[in-house]
Structure formats: C-alpha cells, structure tokens
Amino acid sequence: MSMKRPLTAADLERIHVVDDARLSSDGERYAFVQKSIQTDTNSYYSNIYTQYLTDDVPVQWTFGSYTNFSPRWSPDGSSLAFVSNRSGLNQIWVMSTSGGEPKQITSVQHGASNPVWSPDSQKLLFETEHATEEDLLSASEDSSSSAPSAVKIDRLRYKSDSRGFHYGRRSHIGLFRFDQEETSLLTNGSYDHHDPDWSPDSQFIVFTANRNSDEDISPVQDLYTLNVETKEISKLTDSSGMFTNASWSPDGSWIACTGHELEYKSATINQIWLINPLTKERKGMTLKWDVQIGDYMTGDIRTGHTSDKPVWSSDQEHIYFLASENGKVGLYQMDMHNEITAIHDEDNHVFSFSFHPKNEQFVLGISDPSNPGDFYSRRLEDKGRVRLTDVNAGFLKEVDLSLPETLSVRTSDHWDVHGWIMYPVNYEEGQAFPLILEIHGGPHAMYGHTFFHEFQLLAAEGYGVLFSNPRGSHGYGQAFADACRRDYGGKDFEDLLAILDHAVDSYEFIDRNRLGVTGGSYGGFMTNWMISHTNRFKAAVTQRSISNWLSFYGVSDIGFFFTDWEIGVPLHQDPEKLWHHSPLRYVKDIHTPLLIMHSENDYRCPMEQAEQLFINMKYLNKTVSFLRFPGANHELSRSGPPALRIERLNHMVDWFHHYIEK
C-alpha cells in the first residue's frame, strides 16, 4: 500500500513552475524563471536562477516577492537583463554577471517587456504600450481619487482578455542605448508592433505588425524590417497570412519565422518559412510536413508559453524548433533541403528550449504527467539527457499520482481519435468508480503528455478521468484540425461520445451510470452542447463557456472574426446558422445538474454568456448553480488569483460529489 497522500486542490500552492531557459553566451550556464505562489498575499512571485551545466543545483539570483522574469544574457557575457515589477510596473533591469545589485534601465509610463540585446551588446529592444499623445517617460498619474470619465471607443479591437480596455494605446518597440543611457521609441502610429529580433550587424531589426489601413478587421500579421538609425521601415511579406517569431540567420542573409497563409483561418497549422530580407523571396520549408509547428499543449500549470523562435545552427545548415504531434511536444531539426529529424520525440512536453550553436548544447524544459516540469541538458550528438533541476521533489514525494494510459478509437466515418484515461488513485480491482470526461478549449489546442493538476485532483477524489483530442485539435495534421470548423456540435460531439463509449466498454472499473463532464472555453461550449443533446451525464460543470453565438459575435474581444472563422458566417449574413450552433437554443432539453463557473473580467467569453444560460435554466426550473469569480479573466484556471483557482477546483469537486455520488 502506498504511503503517499492524495493530492488536494491546495497543493497548487506547493507547485513550483519553471520556464524560459536561456543559455549564456559562452554556453557554460543557463538562466531560468521559477514561479511560485505566495499564500499570505494571494499572489504569484517569480525569481531568476542560474546554473552551470556541471553543477548539481541552481543558484538564485533575484529575491523577494516580486515578479522577475524574461532573463536575457548580453552577447558579450557581461550582463543579464530581465523584467521586474520591483519598482511598481514591469520595467527592464540589468545586473552584472560578476555580481552586484541590478539597475533599472527603463522607466516608461506603461511598463516594458521582452528585452532583446543587440549582437554588439550596446543596445536593447523592449516592448511597451503607448498612445500617440502620451509622454513615453512620464510617470502615471494617480487617478484613484478623480471621478471616472467616459471612454471613447473608435475601433473594433478596443479590448482584449489579456489587456482589458486598450484606452487608445498600441504596442510599440522601444530602444535603450547604453552609451547614452537614452530611451526612445522605434515604431509609431496606430498599429501594434511585436516580437523584435536584431540583424547580426546590430543595424536592423525585424518585427511583426499589421500596418494596413484595414488592420482592425484584417487578421494578417506581416514581417517588417526597420533601420535603427534612420527608422526606415520595409515590408517583407504581402499581407497574405500570419508570420511571427522571426529570427535572423548568423550571416544576415535569411530570416526564419513561423506562420501560415490563413488557408484554414484559425485552424491553419504553422509552417517554418525562410525570407530573404533583400529580395523578399519567401520559401515554405515544412509545407510537406503535416505537423503543427510550436507548442500547442494545453494544461493548467503554465500561464502561457514563451515565444520559441526558430534557432539557427552556427553554419546555417540547420534550424531547430518545437512541434506538437500526437499529444506530445518535441524538438526537431530541419536542414536547408527540408529534411526534418527528431532531436527529442518522447511521450512528454518540451515547454522550453535553448540552444548554443557553437557548443551544440541544448537545455530542455520537460514536463510529463508525473512532473510539472524540470530542466535537462543534452548535446546535439548525444541520445540521452542529464537532469539539471528537481524543483518539485518534496511535493512529488508526498502525493500519490495517477499516470494516464493511452487509448484510441476509430469512429464510424473512419477517423482515429486519440485520448487518455486515468484510474482513480484509490482504485481497487473489482470496484466500480465514476468517470469525468474533460474537454479542452481552443478548439485548436491539444491535450497530451503533460502535468495537469485538475486531472490529478479528480483522480485523487476517486474519479476516473478521460481526456482526448477530438476533431479540431492540433497534433494530428491539417485536415483533422480543420474538421470541426462550420460543424461545432457535429462530428466533434460524435468523437467525444465515441471515445467515451470506448472507455466505458473497455475499462471494467467505470460505472456507466456515474458519468460527469466538464470543460472550459470551447470545452465549456461543448459541455453545454453535450448535456443539451444527451442525458448520459449525472452532473456537469461548464467553465468560461459559449452559450449563444449570436451575442458572442458582438461582446467577445474576438467574436466578430472568430465566429466567422469557426462557425462559417458573420452575424449579418446568416443569424440562423449561429443560433443553430448555440447551446442556448436547446436549453429546454437540458436535464443534467449544471454548475456554471465564469470570471467577471472575461473578455474572451464574456459573463453574459453564463448569465443567459443560467437565467434560462433557472426560469425553466432546471438544476443549476452559478459561480461568478471577481478579479479574474478567461485565464482563471491557469493564472487567476491563487485562492480563486483553489476555490474553483473545490466547487467542481463538491458538485460532482453531490450529484454523481448521491
């Protein structure tokens, strides 16, 4: 018998999350971020650690209850830049690698992020929000005692779930010159500019933006170059798609990037592209490889993935990148003849990687269902890896975890649906246990071989957990990712029922009369859809869900284009089709006890989606309860206030216990 204890919702406070590994310029050590929860303030804090690859344990470089993140080594090895909120807003700080106190180098009004060193170590790029009429360097005024004023809205994209209301500000690229200790903006105008990278001669930058006159409506993202001295801008792409994560080759002759040409709208898988910055010639390097470039794993521990640009080898013969396939995220190598080789292709989740071209040395951040994540080193020519960190050793020694088993089912129309099942932690042969079906959001995301606290909690509470990648998920090729568009609640719904039937028929421990279902965002939509189209579940929990596509079109920060992309029509063309795919239309057919959980500041799936569902169910005397979470947005389950994340999990468990077990 195991001497370990069951995992609890409050164990979220004990999990340390590491991310953003960055090898130093000499390749001998790396820096990374470790984020934790501070319970007395109900907040997160993060610090920078470094570790020589020959050492057994890392060394902490920043301290305190601030958020310190985005460590970036200067190319000459003398300094480490990072972002910190220790002065209030996020600003860029720099510290000597030989020791001493860090120095704040930016004091911009709305904070700074994403530091990028120039190859000559004399300049540093950053991103900041800025409105045309504002002073870049002035301090924010304290308006806490002033009366609120009206907010004038002039554009479609006036809010976003991550930023809230934009207040006329745009994202711009700033520059700090160390020789003059001078801060300035490199970009201007009513456009958003992101993700800069330096040319090898430190004279130019490349960045992503949509600088077209219809940029509010058009979904494209182009690449541009900018001369740092003259500020002359040149457009590299032709507004035919979405191109990001640009990375200059060592000799400056090519720019590698990820992106696509919107052939399948939001379901289009990414490719690796090469662009000649002089001729603007563009070559798709992975067009024949039907795999999604980038990390598309979904979970509840990480708050968003750092941008992993394609990384060049020193001889420019190879490019390294992450890709998502079959429920795992691996590291791959591509040569200039489009041949792709797996460097790391195991049943786990590579969430971060750094590569030192001269030493041919990698540092990989890897998670799997038994570990929230640690760092490992490996040489390019080696097959094995060496563990560098063990940040959750104490926690993992205490708790009893359930490790998923893989399963798959062939649907009636001959599609293969991949999934996993977790046994309840208290499993005993011959006993029957309830099962919870989990449905991911997106829908173009991917469940897989990574640590998922919510799943482990349900298993600890005595439930089997079934999760899968139905049609629409990434990781199974372009046709599969596109297969749910214009058909929400159709074959995707059938896929979920098929894998549920397969699990119930294949695993004797599952009590087919005690089934529950839950999901968030698209998974919340599908939870609503399932209980309005089948009575198989004894209880359901819908989270940050969509219930009505008609109103979603106008209230969501992405509604006006996402609805068109996913359902297939804008509101004014065919409102009946939007209503056909709306779970609210079928509310009278819901007989499953439903818990609705939604965040007050959710601009992606706004609160009114939950309100409509609750009011209609309550009016019809259905069994329903409604939980509203203040101070949280669409990302509650991943990055919301820690106490609310724990409360959310406990309410979910209590609902399932009450209605499945009674």
Note the pLDDT tens digit of each residue in 581-595: 999 999 999 999 999
Contacts of 244 (CB under 8 A, 6+ apart): 194, 195, 208, 221, 257, 258, 259, 307
DSSP 433: E
Local confidence band at 661 (pLDDT 50, 70, 90 cut-offs):
confident
Give bridge partners of residue 399 from the DSSP assignment: 5
Say which residue the tokens 């979970």 belong to.
Answer: 299
Q: What are phi and psi of 33, to 5 degrees?
A: -110, 135
* 142 has a pLDDT exceeding 50: no
Q: Distance between CA 419 and CA 128 in Å, rounded?
A: 41
Q: Distance between CA 296 and CA 448 in Å, rounded?
A: 10
pTM greater than 0.85 (yes/no): yes
Region 401-428 average pLDDT: 97
As given in the structure block, the two tokens for residue 553 are 């079109």
Of 518, 526, 561, nearest to 546 by C-alpha is: 526
The pLDDT of residue 143 is 43
- Judged by DSSP in three states, 176 sits in strand
Of 192, 214, 207, nearest to 248 by C-alpha is: 207
Q: List strand residue ranges (DSSP E) for 39-189, in order.
A: 43-52, 59-60, 68-73, 79-84, 91-96, 103-104, 113-117, 123-130, 159-160, 164-165, 170-177, 182-185
For residues 217, 222, 225 and 228, what is the CA-based torsion angle, rounded to 10 degrees? 40
What's the chain's Rg over C-alpha atoms? 25
Domain 399-661: CATH architecture, name and number where available: 3-Layer(aba) Sandwich (3.40)
* 84 has a pLDDT exceeding 70: yes
Q: Distance between CA 49 and CA 69 in Å, rounded?
A: 10
- Judged by DSSP in three states, 271 sits in strand
Q: Distance between CA 335 and CA 317 in Å, rounded?
A: 6
Query: In this predicted model, which residue has the larger pLDDT, 275 or 147?
Result: 275
- The burial class, CB within 10 Å (0-12 / 13-18 / 19+), for 381 is exposed
Q: Distance between CA 369 and CA 454 in Å, rounded?
A: 12
CA dist list (Å): 302 to 12, 96, 177, 210 = 12, 29, 33, 28
Q: Distance between CA 255 and CA 199 in Å, rounded?
A: 9
Express as a percent the part of the chain with pLDDT over 90.
Answer: 95
- Judged by DSSP in three states, 250 sits in coil
Q: Distance between CA 537 and CA 592 in Å, rounded?
A: 6
Local confidence band at 138 (pLDDT 50, 70, 90 cut-offs):
low
Q: What's the sign of the alpha-carbon dihedral 468, 474, 480, 486? A: positive
17, 372 Cβ separation under 8 angstroms: yes
As given in the structure block, the two tokens for residue 170 are 């745009």
Q: Distance between CA 592 and CA 597 in Å, rounded?
A: 16
Local confidence band at 139 (pLDDT 50, 70, 90 cut-offs):
low
State the maximum Cα–Cα separation within the chain, in Å, rounded to a whole number: 75
* 132 has a pLDDT exceeding 90: no
Catalytic residue among 24, 46, 468, 521: 521
Catalytic residue among 166, 344, 449, 634: 634
- b/e sequence 166-197, b meaning 16+ C-beta within 10 Å: bebbbbbbbbbeeeeeebeebbeeeebbbbbb
| Other CB atoms within 10 Å distance of the CB of residue 111 | 20
CA dist list (Å): 280 to 116, 254, 285, 350 = 24, 9, 15, 32
Give bridge partners of residue 72 from the DSSP assignment: 81
402 is catalytic: no
Structural domain boundaries in the chain = 17-81, 399-661
Q: Tens digit of pLDDT for each residue in 431-475?
A: 999 999 999 999 999 999 999 999 999 999 999 999 999 999 999
130 is catalytic: no
The pairing of beta strand 386-387 with beta strand 399-400? unpaired
Q: What are phi and psi of 268, to 5 degrees?
A: -70, 130
Considering the chain, what is the average pLDDT of its residues?
Answer: 96
Q: Tens digit of pLDDT for each residue in 280-305?
A: 999 999 999 999 999 999 999 997 66
DSSP 571: T
* 383 has a pLDDT exceeding 90: no
Report for 301-305, 381-385, 503-507: range of highest mean pLDDT: 503-507
* 186 has a pLDDT exceeding 80: yes
Express as a percent the part of the chain with pLDDT over 70.
Answer: 98
Q: Tens digit of pLDDT for each residue in 321-371?
A: 999 999 999 999 999 999 999 999 999 999 999 999 999 999 999 999 999
Q: What's the sign of the alpha-carbon dihedral 581, 586, 590, 594? A: positive
CA 612 centroid distance within chain: 28
